[in-house]
Amino acid sequence: MIRHIVFFSAKDEAHIDQIIEGLSLLATIPHARRLEVARNRKTDQLGKEIDIVVYGEFDSEAELAAYKAHDLYQESIKRVRPLRELRFAADYNVSTDTFRLPAE
């Protein structure tokens, strides 16, 4: 499984809801096992720059590629890009090699 995490900041705080609305299109793309779009709670004491988080889970590279190739993905970019400042993305494989803290 692949986890796809993207962080966004808005150019103007007044546009955060519009960015969330544009990113919410992504949840209707059928290739993700799970996809969430949420406003950052900004409770971390060291960093509050990120306004919105997109979290997705995909069964394979092919599913992630199909998601990114979908017309709604392109429409989301068209709506969001003019309103956002920063965009940071990370994709990683979840496997038995992934470090996990022991359960308490």
Residues 5/90, Cβ–Cβ less than 8 Å:
yes
CATH assignment of the domain containing 16: 3.30.70.100
Structural domain of 49: 2-93
Count the domains in the chain.
1
Q: What does the pLDDT look like over 10-53, one tens digit per residue?
A: 999 999 999 999 999 999 999 999 999 999 999 999 989 999 99
Helix, strand and coil in the chain, % to nearest 5: 35, 30, 35
Task: Give the span between the Cα atoms of 76 and 102, in whole angstroms.
Answer: 38
pLDDT of residue 100 exceeding 80: no
Percent of the chain exceeding pLDDT 70 equals 91
Q: Is the pLDDT of residue 96 over 60?
A: no
Q: What band does 95 get if pLDDT is binned at 50, 70 and 90?
A: confident
